[in-house]
Amino acid sequence: MSTKQFDVVVIGGGPGGYIAAIRAAQLGQNTACIDEWKNDKGGPALGGTCTNVGCIPSKALLQSSEHYEQLNHHFADHGITADNVKIDVAKMLARKDQVVKQNNDGIVYLFKKNKVTFFHGRGSFVAAKDGGYEIKAGEEVIFAKQVIVATGSNARALPGVPFDEETILSNDGALRVGSTPKKLGLIGAGVIGLEMGSVWRRLGAEVTVLEGLPTFLGAVDESVAKEAAKIFKKQGLDIQLGVKVGEIKSGKAGVSVAYTDAKGEAKTLEVDKLIVSIGRVPNTVGLGVEAVGLQLDDRGAIVVDHDCKTNLPGVWAIGDVVRGPMLAHKAEEEGVAVAERIAGQHGHVNFNTIPWVIYTSPEIAWVGKTEQQLKAEGVAYKAGQFPFLANGRARALGDTTGFVKFLADATTDEILGVHIIGPFASELISEAVVAMEFKASAEDIARICHAHPSLSEATKEAALAVDKRTLNF
């Protein structure tokens, strides 16, 4: 059988890989994508971590649990009460699985529409040959001159504490817990710790989060992190900072975690389930990097330059398997840019304007520099802040927590960072991203007409606050 030839082969069908494949095909390249993820029937489940055990299912559970929280604690303010409110966790999980499946199927449809050839199975480098690469795609061997590696990342386990996905859970098991645990422990108060901790706390679990660092959400603007810590504590999340986790024992009865708290006191946390969310490791398992000499760094990430070029001609790498933030939209942007570079265009990713969102309640979103970064870099800046408490739409919604904060260059007024904690922060941040991408000044946003009543008026007012001229506060 002759080897199938492609212009571009993408290994990995997560948000980085599938988007790269679609863009390459749109640009006229004969493109294949290889992905090994299996659904519960052994069939393909395109979309990677993001679709199967990441962004999409976590947001589905965050939505379901938030409805439950609203009905139990906040609807009464609107005059709506209900007796005998129950949560059917099995149904909630089934809905989440359905949402995942819709996304899996959507990508299959997109591959057909864009004429991307899909191989279900593992992709691995066999050899460099004839100015290109032989790649094993499941049971077949295929050939391409251009290869995009988008193999993603896996959850990092604590040394000597493997995930059993029954009591010691990665993000995968954390999204499949069959009933609300009475006591839930999480190690790591990062993005997954806070999102998954919020889901199970809303559903009634007693949640304790053990964080190694003494600072809460160190990468977030300090004023936002401070506000978030206050709110999460009030909601009942017990977040302990500066702990040192020791021995972890798990059995049928649950898990016990020995740790030393910030004061140096030895303690034990007994929980029914433990989620370990201490970051993720780039995934190159079984990729055959040694067969072609693809260079990895000491974290196991594929070494790439600013343009996602690896050390091998014609081999590119994108998304979680390379440097930079582990975010789906960062992976997608890199995928598009690489496909365009392969086609001779000038794909570009602006790393300064990649937004971050934490989907807790309130949501936290930001883009650009934090105040502490600007101070450390010695940049002269002006800050403007506006609370949702003074926003009409937020009052009508019944959610006035948080604020919008602008940081602008003291001389040029260029927006350097925008930080939001509050309702729909995930949606509001887009305006800030657009503004920064167009190098807008705070005054530009302040002078733009924003619909009334809308949460986006808080963004306009925060921009006005940079020049100390808010109208509604």
Binding-site residue ranges for NAD(+) = 188-195, 211, 279
Residue 59 or 95 with smaller CB distance to ligand NAI: 59
User: Per rule CB under 6 A, is residue 301 in the interface with ligand FAD?
Assistant: no
**Position 320: which residue type?**
D
Tell me which residues in 181-240 interact with ligand FAD (CB under 6 A): 192
Closer Cβ to ligand NAI, 57 or 387, answer by number:
57
Footprint of ligand NAI on 326-345 (CB under 6 A)? 326-327
The stretch among 25-33, 174-182, 191-199, 301-309 that binds ligand NAI (CB under 6 A) is 191-199
Cα-flanking dihedrals φ and ψ of residue 40, to 5°? Answer: -70, -10
Q: Does 54 help bind ligand FAD (rule: CB under 6 A)?
A: yes
Closest CB 381 distance from ligand FAD, rounded Å = 27
Give the integer Cα–Cα distance in Å for 91 and 103: 19
DSSP class per residue in 401-429: --EEEEEEETTT-BEEEEEEEETTHHHHH
Phi and psi torsions of 220, nearest 5° = -95, 150
Taking residue 428's Cβ as centre, other Cβ atoms within 10 Å add up to: 20
Which one among 214, 293, 325, 398 touches ligand NAI, defined by CB under 6 A?
325
Separation of CA 456 from chain center: 23
Q: What, of ligand FAD, ligand NAI, none, does residue 423 touch, CB below 5 to 8 Å by kind?
A: none
When binding is defined by CB under 6 A, the residue of 16, 193, 288, 335 that contacts ligand NAI is: 193
Least distance to ligand FAD from the beta carbon of 401, Å? 20
Other C-beta atoms closer than 10 Å to the C-beta of 471 total: 12
For residues 364 and 440, which CB has a smaller minimum distance to ligand NAI in the complex?
A: 364
Q: Which does 287 bind (CB under 5 to 8 A by kind): ligand FAD, ligand NAI, none?
A: ligand FAD
- State yes or no: residue 16 binds ligand FAD (CB under 6 A): yes
Query: In this structure, which long-range contacts are made by residues 225-232, counting pairs with CB atoms below 8 Å and at least 24 apart in sequence?
Result: 227/402, 227/403, 227/421, 228/360, 228/362, 228/364, 228/421, 231/362, 231/401, 231/402, 232/194, 232/198, 232/360
Min dist. Cβ of residue 159 to ligand NAI (A): 9
315 binds ligand FAD (CB under 6 A): no
Interatomic CA distance for residues 153 and 158, integer angstroms: 16
* Binding test (CB under 6 A) with ligand FAD, winner from 6, 7, 22, 48: 48
Residues 353-412 that bind ligand NAI (CB under 6 A): 357-359
**In the range 85-144, which residues lie near ligand FAD by CB under 6 A?**
122-124
3 state DSSP class of 186: strand
Should residue 362 be labelled a site residue for ligand FAD when binding is judged by CB under 6 A?
Answer: no
Q: How far is the CB of 17 from ligand FAD (least distance, A)?
A: 5
Q: What does the alpha-carbon distance between residue 231 and residue 198 come to, in Å, rounded to a whole number?
A: 12
**Is residue 279 close enough to count as binding ligand FAD by CB under 6 A?**
no
**Six-digit token pair at 29?**
């390249």
Q: Indicate left, alpha or beta for 378 from its phi (over 0: left) and psi (-120 to 50: alpha).
A: left
Which position among 195, 227, 457, 461 is part of the footprint of ligand NAI (CB under 6 A)?
A: 195
Q: Which range binds ligand FAD by CB under 6 A, 48-56, 101-109, 309-317, 428-436? A: 48-56
Among 31, 104, 283, 459, binds ligand FAD (CB under 6 A): 283
321 near ligand NAI, judged by CB under 6 A: no
What is the DSSP code string of 354-400? --EEE-SSSEEEEEE--HHHHHHHT--EEEEEEEGGG-HHHHHHT--
**CB contact burial 164-196 (16+ within 10 A = b; e otherwise):** eeebbbbbbbbbebeebbebbbbbbbbbbbbbb
In the complex, least distance from residue 350 CB atom to ligand NAI, rounded to whole angstroms: 18
150 lies in the binding site for ligand FAD (CB under 6 A):
yes
Establish whether 452 is a catalytic residue.
Answer: yes
**In terms of CB distance, is 172 or 444 closer to ligand FAD?**
172
- 447 and 251 in contact (C-beta within 8 Å)? no
| HEC letters along 45-56 | CCCHHHHHHCHH
The closest alpha carbon to 89, from 176, 195, 183, belongs to: 176
Does 162 participate in binding ligand NAI (rule CB under 6 A)?
Answer: no
Question: Pick from ligand FAD, ligand NAI, none: which does 464 bind, CB < 5 to 8 A by kind?
Answer: none
- State which of positions 253-282 bind ligand NAI (CB under 6 A): 277-280
Helix 191-202 vs helix 222-235: crossing angle, to nearest 10: 30
Number of residues that make up the chain: 473
- Are 385 and 397 spatial neighbours (Cβ–Cβ below 8 Å)? no
Q: Tell me which residues touch ligand NAI (CB under 6 A).
A: 158, 187-193, 195, 210-213, 245, 277-280, 325-327, 357-359
Q: Tell me which residues touch ligand FAD (CB under 6 A).
A: 11-17, 34-37, 48-50, 54-55, 58, 122-124, 150-153, 171, 192, 283, 286-287, 319-321, 326-329, 331, 359
Active site residues: 452
